[in-house]
Structure 1
C-alpha cells in the first residue's frame, strides 16, 4: 500500500497541524508515503531530508479546484498510490470522489478544530456533509469535535468516524531537555517560571496571562512569565505588559527554531495557555498539542476550556482546566501551582506517565494504519 497525503498543512510551515501530519507521515512504513503540499519558504531543504517524496504545489494555498485535482491525480498515478489521506478534511476532502474514480481505494479525512466551526455555518455545513460522505473515514480529535461535526454529517458518515489525535515524541519532549540554558539566556535562573508556547493570537489567551500576572506576583514574588512564539498579537501584548506594570517579569522570545522547543518547555515550572473560543464558536481550540508536549516535559498545565482543549488534560491530575475568559481563575491556578513546587512536580509526573501510556506517536500511527487498511 502507498498513501498520498494531500494537505495544505505541512512543514516547514510552522504549526500544530503541520507537526501532527508530519508525525504521522514519518511513522508510516518506508516507501509507503508521498506528500503533495503547497510551497513554503525553506521547503527545498526540508524536503531533501525527508524519508519520502514531497511534491510541492506552485502556490502557498491549495483549494479543491481543477488545477489542484489535476496535480493530485498526476501524483497518485505517477507514484502508484492506492490510498489518500487529506491532512485537513475541509476543504480538500471535497476532492475525494474524483480521486476515488482515479484509483484511490481508501480515503481518510483528518479533522482538527476548524471543521467543528464549519458544522455551524449553513453553506460550510453542507460541504462538510459532502466530505463525510466522500471519504471512508473521518477522524476526530476528541469528543467535543466529534459531537460538533456529527450534527452536520449523514448517519452513515457518523458511523465511520474514528478517533485520531496528535502524538507526542516522549524521547524529544522530556524533563531535563535543556531548560537551564534557556533560563540563563533570558535571566530567569532561580525564578519560578510559567511558560506558554504558542502562536501569539487572541484565541490562545496570552493576554489573560498578562492580566493575571500582577495577582500572581503578589503570591509568588519574583515569578516570571515566558511567552514563546511569534504572531500578530505580539505588539499588543507588549503594550499590555507595560500598562499592567509587569513588563519587567514578562519575557517575549519571539519565534524559536523547532529543535529548541523542548528546551523552552523545560524552562518552565508550569505551562499555561488559557485559550478561549471566539467568533461564536468558529475560532476554537481543536485539542492543543502544546498541553501534551508540556505534560511530556513533566510540567503541570493550565488549560483554557475552549473546544477540545480539556481532552488534553486530566483536570486535577495532570493540570487544571479554567475558563479562558476568567482572569481571576487563571491567576488562581497559576499562583497555586507556582507557590507549591512539590505539588506541581507531582502533577507533572502524572502528566508524563499519561503521555507514555496513551499519547505516544506509535499509538496514533497505528490507528492511522488501521484506518488505511480497514
Structure 2
C-alpha cells in the first residue's frame, strides 16, 4: 500500500535528510524533495527580552547547566547524554544537567542518574510554560540531544535543535540522525557518532573549555536559525505546488 501511494504521488517531500534516507531504504528509486521545518526566531528573542517567569530565580540558581528538551523516549538517546555528562561531571564540579520532558523512560533514566550518584546534579523538569522553556534555553551553556533509531522508531526532524539555535546555543548531537539538518558540524555545533558517549563527552568538554569556540558556535547558531524561518518553509511548499 505504501509503495503504491508513493509511486503514484505527483511529488514526494520529506522534512529531513534522515527521513528521506529511511524512505529510500524501502523504495530506492523515488525522487524526494527535502523541505525542512522552521523556527519562529523572533519569538525566541522577544520572549527572552520581555520574560518575567516564575522560574527565573530557580534557573539562575541552577547555573551553570547544560540542557536537553524532548519526550523521555528511547529514541532521544538520553541514556547516552546522561552517561556523557557523568564522564565530565568531575571535570566541571559546578555543572548541572537539566532535562525537560516527560515520558515512559523517566524512571529508568532516574535510576541511571542514581547509579552515577548524580541526583543533585541532573534535574528533571516538565509542565513548563513556553516562556519558562525559552528562559532555560537562554541560560544554558549548551544543548545536547543524541537521537537514535530504535526499531524504525526515529526522529523526523528535531525542532528543539532549531529552538536551541534561535537562543544562540551551541549544540551537541548525533550524526546520521534528524539533527543533521539543524546542526552544521563544526559551525553551530558538533555531531558525534550515534550512541558514542565518549565522543559526546569530548564534544561538551571542547565547547565548555574553549570560550572562543563556544562563542563562534553560538554566533553561527543565531545566524542559521534566522535563515530557517517558517516563511522559508511555506515558500518552498508554495513553489513546489506552483511548479506542479
**What is the TM-score when the length of structure 1 is the normalising length?**
0.59
Unaligned runs of 5+ in 1: 1-126
Residue 221 (structure 1) aligned to one of 93, 101, 118: 93
Is 1:264 aligned to residue 133 of structure 2? no
Change (3 A) 1:180 1:214: farther
Q: Deviations over 1:214-236 (max 9, x none)?
A: 32122212001010111111111
Change (3 A) 1:137 1:232: same
Larger radius of gyration: 1
Residue equivalent to 1:231 = 103
Distance 1:179 1:130 in 2: 53
Q: What are the equivalent positions in structure 2 for 1:1-374 lying under 5 Å apart?
A: 127-153=1-27, 155=29, 158-159=30-31, 161-174=32-45, 177=48, 178=51, 182=55, 184-186=57-59, 188-189=61-62, 191-279=63-151, 282-357=152-227, 359-373=228-242, 374=244
Change (3 A) 1:139 1:213: same
Deviates more, 1:250-259 or 1:265-274: 250-259
Give 1:307 deviation, angstroms: 2.9
Distance 1:312 1:179 in 2: 29
Residue equivalent to 1:4 = none
Distance 1:182 1:213 in 2: 24
Unaligned runs of 5+ in 2: none
Change (3 A) 1:175 1:214: farther
Q: Report if the CA contact (8 A) 2:65-2:98 is conserved.
A: yes
Q: Report if the CA contact (8 A) 1:226-1:253 is conserved.
A: yes
Change (3 A) 1:267 1:181: farther
Residue equivalent to 1:22 = none
Distance 1:220 1:154 in 2: 47
Q: Report if the CA contact (8 A) 2:59-2:136 is conserved.
A: no
Q: Report if the CA contact (8 A) 1:186-1:251 is conserved.
A: no
Distance 2:57 2:106 in 1: 23
Q: Report if the CA contact (8 A) 1:208-1:324 is conserved.
A: no
Give 1:162 deviation, angstroms: 2.1
Give 1:322 deviation, angstroms: 1.1
**What is the TM-score when the length of structure 2 is the normalising length?**
0.88
Residue equivalent to 1:95 = none
Distance 1:163 1:304 in 2: 19
CA RMSD of aligned residues (A): 2.4
Deviates more, 1:290-299 or 1:335-344: 335-344
Change (3 A) 1:368 1:275: same
Q: Report if the CA contact (8 A) 1:192-1:338 is conserved.
A: no
